[in-house]
Chain A
Amino acid sequence: MSEMIFLAWVRGMGLNIAIGIFLLGTIWRLIEIYTLGRKQDVAAPRHRSGASGWHTMFRRSLPIPGIMQRSPVSYIGGYIFHIGLAIVVFLFAPHIKLIQSLVGLSWPGLPSQLIDAATVVTLAAMLVMLFDRINKPVKRFLSTFEDYFTWALTFLPVLTGYMAVKHLALPYATMLAIHILSVELLLIVLPFSKLFHAITVFGSRWYNGDINGRRGVPV
C-alpha cells in the first residue's frame, strides 16, 4: 500500500510544492532579469524598429543555411525533441485532463498510438543529442554539470511516462508516481537553470531583433 501513499503524495502535496516553486521561481527570475532595464538607444534609427523583435522571435526558429550543415544534429535533433516534447506534454489525453483539472482549459488530444510514437522518437532524439554533446568538441568543451543534469531532468519524465503507460519494469502506480515526481523535479529546477530558456528565449530574440532592427538589419 505504500506505493499508493507515495502516489497520493506526489499527486497532492508534491505537485503543489513543485508548481508553487515553479511559479514563484519563474516570477522571481523574470523580475531579476527584466527589471535590470536598458538604456534608451538615442541614435536616430534607420527605420523605426517596429515589429523587428517579433519578426526575430519567429525567424530564429527557422534553420540557417550553412550553420545547419555544420551542426546538423543540433538542428535536426533539436527540432525533433522540442516538437516531440510539446506533442507528448500537451497532446496526451491524461495530461490534458490534468491541465483541465488545474486551470479549466482543455483541447482534443492525439490517439495514444501517435503519442507512443512521438515519445519513442523524442527519447531517441534526446539520446542522439546527448551523444552529440559528448562527441562534438565544441559542445563537450562548453558543457558543464548543469548541461548533463538538465538533460537527465528532461529525459526522465518522458522515459518514466512511457514506462508507466506500457507497464514496464515496475507496477503501474509506482511508475506513475515516479513519473510525476520526475516532472516535479523538472518544474522545480526549470526557473533556476538553463531550462529557463523555455521562457527567456522570447525576450532574448525580441531584444536582438529590436536592437538590430533600429539599424535596419533583419536578424
Chain B
Amino acid sequence: MSASLQKGINALKEVIDAPVASFFASCVHCGLCAEACLFFTETDDPKYTPIHKLEPLRRVYSQEYTLLGRLGKMLGLSKPVTDDELENWSELVYDSCTMCGRCSLVCPVGNDIVYMVRKLREGMAVSGHAPDGIRSAAKRTIEIGSPMGVKWPAVQHVIKDQETATGLTIPIDQPGVDIMVLLSSMEVMNYPEYLGALAKIFHKAGISWTLSSEAFEATNAGIQIGASDLAREIVSRIVVAAEKLGVKKVLSPECGHAYMAIRWEGPNLMGRPFKFEVVHVLELLDELRRAGKLKMKDKFTMPVTLHDPCQIVRRGGVLDAPEPLLQQVVTDYRPVADRNIWNWCCGGGGGASAIHEPDAEALRFKVFQIKKRQIEDAGVTTMVTFCANCRIVMEEAIDHYGMNTQLLGLTELLAEHLED
C-alpha cells in the first residue's frame, strides 16, 4: 500500500462517526437517491446513484468498524480499497457530485448522503485523488489569496472603479464597524458591480462597514476539495481579520460555497464559535426590506424566475429571504415547480466548475438540461440567482445550448432599482 493511500484510508477512518455508521447500516439499496440526483436523471446511468458514489467509504466503514467486516478482513475475504479504485472514483466524487444535497432530502431511511460525500472527499484529497482543477484552486487560495489568483491590487482596482461609479467611499480596514464584507473572486472578476451595489445599499441604510485588505476572499476551495487543513487555513484568515477589526458581523457574498464555508463549516474547522456573526447578504437585505429600508424607485418588468443556489438555500438554510426580496424588485415572478429546498443544482457546485477536463465539462452541459427545462417551463427569458458560481456555470451552458436567457444577480438587481 502506498503511503498516500494509507494516509487516505486513515483520513476516512478518522471521519467515520456514528451518523455515517447509522446511515450505512440503514441503506436498503432502494435506489431512490438516484431519482433526486441530476447526474442520474439526465444521464440514466446507474453509476451516478448517490449512495454508490460512497462505496469506498462504505467499505472502509465495514472493514474497520463492524464485527463481520473485521472478521472478513482478517480472513482475507474483503476487497480492500486501492489507489486505482480511488482514482476511478474521482469522477463520481467530484465531477458528478456537486454536493447539492438533494439526495439527503429523499432517502427513505433518512441518510444524509451529502454529509458522507463531504467526508469521503477528505480521504480522496489526502490520497491525492482530487481533480487537478480544484487542487490548483486550493493551492492558489493558500499561496495568492484567492482561487482565481486575484490579488489585493486587483480588488483595489475594482474598489476605485466602483467608487467612481457610485460616488461613494468604500472603506478599507476600518475597525469597530458593524459589518466586514467578504467577496468571492468570481464577483471581483466578473461582477464588480456587486461591490458598488453594496456601497449604495449600506449608504442608504446607514450601516457602517469595511473591507479587509487581509481577508477579502470568502470562497474556500479547501472545503470543495475536501482538505480540512487547507480549509482551516483559508477560514482562519477571515476569522483573524474580523476579530482584529472587532466587527459585529461578517457578510458572506452571494456565492454558495463561500457561505457554507464561513457560516457552517468555518467554526467547526477552527474548533470554536466565532466572536462575530456570519450573515448572508440576502439575510441582511431581507432584514432591511422588513424594516422598510430597502425601497425601490421602479421595478423590473420582464417575467423572471428564480434559481435557488443549493448551498445557500437547501444546505444553508436561507429559505425565506430570496423570494420576498425578488418580489420587491420585479413585477412578474414565475416560480419554477421544484423551488426553494427542492431546487435543482446548476450542475457546477462543489468545485465541479473548477474541473476543466473535457468529459467533466460535457457532463456538466448534459445535466444542465434539467435547468433548461425548468427555464422553458417557467416561460421566461430572465433568471435571477444569488451565487456567482451558479451564474457562470449556467451562462456557459446557456451559450452552449444557444438559449435566449439572461441571468441576473439578485443583489445587483436590487441595487439597480434602489430608490436614489
Contact = CB atoms under 8 A, between A and B. Distances in A.
A44 B111 CA distance: 23
A139 B31 CA distance: 6
Nearest to A216: B317
A138 B18 contact: no
A208 B101 CA distance: 11
A128 interface: no
A200 interface: yes
A103 interface: no
Interface string A196-212: 11001101111111011
Interface in A178-219: 192, 194, 196-197, 200-201, 203-209, 211-212, 215-219
A55 to B, nearest CB: 11
Main secondary structure of the interface of B (DSSP, over half): helix
Contacts of B68: 192
B247 interface: no
Interface in A56-99: 56-57, 60-61, 64, 66-67, 70-71, 74, 78
A219 to B, nearest CB: 6
B316 interface: yes
Interface string B312-338: 001111010000000000000000001
Interface in B2-27: 16-23, 25-27
B110 A33 contact: no
B266 A71 contact: no
A140 B52 CA distance: 12
Interface string B102-130: 00111111111001000000000000000
A46 B317 contact: yes
Instruction: Give the interface size class of chain A.
Output: 35 or more
A38 B29 contact: no
Instruction: Give the interface size class of chain B.
Output: 35 or more
A78 B110 contact: no
B67 A204 contact: no
Given A41-B268, A66-B338, A204 B111 contact: yes
A3 interface: no
B165 interface: no
Nearest to B108: A60
Given A64-B106, A208-B110, 14 more contacts: A35-B18, A36-B17, A39-B17, A74-B31, A74-B32, A139-B31, A142-B51, A192-B68, A200-B25, A203-B18, A204-B112, A205-B110, A208-B111, A219-B112
A141 B316 CA distance: 32
Nearest to A38: B17
A28 B67 contact: yes
A52 B115 CA distance: 17
Given A203-B22, A217-B315, A208 B112 contact: yes
Contact of B25 (A33, A61, A137): A33
Contacts of A39: 17, 268
Contacts of A142: 29, 31, 46, 49, 51-52
B35 A67 contact: yes
Q: Which of A71, A141, A204 has the most CB of B within 10 A?
A: A204
B29 A137 contact: no
Contact of B106 (A44, A67, A136, A143): A67
A116 interface: no
B19 A215 contact: no
Given A36-B17, A207-B112, A197 B46 contact: no
